Amino acid sequence: MKNSDRRKQTIRQLLDATKELLRDKSCHAITLKDIMEQSQLSKGAIFHYVKSKDEIFAWVLEERLEAVNERFEEEVAGSLNKTFDGPMLAISRSLAGLEDSHEATNKVLLYLLGKENEPAVAEVLAHFHERSVSVSRQWITTGQRHGVIKENVNPDETAELFVLLSLGLRVRASLRPSSKSVAAKEVSDFMAGILRK
């Protein structure tokens, strides 16, 4: 097996094992030994690719963001008449998951935010934020290119606003899981109102 294939396979095993563990445990409760046992990888195999469990947690965050982006891109590519509704629906569905305090990436994000003073974690969080804003900006400019999003929408400011809203949904889910006075649906409708031509 080529090194690049082995790396992909190992990362996949680590991600799958970590996400499975996150179903029942908090990030604080998960140990590298747990990840080792769940993934059936040796300590050496794990440490060949990562320095800490925090790095694996960062991959969980990144994977979800990229999956949402892929669904958005698929909706855009599959929409022959380049409508607003399909891609916005992909975004809406992703927002709904952010209201679940037990959702793996919500657990991971809150855990990492509690460790923001550690340089490696601060770097991961900064990268996640930058990538989130970049993806959101890309969605807006794609919609503008296809004529379904208002031209006067500032992609940079609006992308930052949307990321702040999504982070707010995540944090609120852990603080007040039953509070839904403004739910993901309303946030999605608000976003659509700003964008829709």
What's the number of CA atoms in the CB half-sphere (13 Å) around residue 36? Answer: 12
* Dist CA 64 CA 94 (whole Å): 9
Q: Angle 155-175/119-145 helices, nearest 10 degrees? A: 130
* Per-residue pLDDT, 179: 62
pLDDT band at 32, cuts 50/70/90? very high
pTM (2 d.p.): 0.88
pLDDT digits (tens, 9 = 90+) for 135-186: 999 999 998 998 889 999 999 999 999 999 999 999 988 887 666 678 888 9
Report residue 180: phi and psi, to 5°. Answer: -135, 35
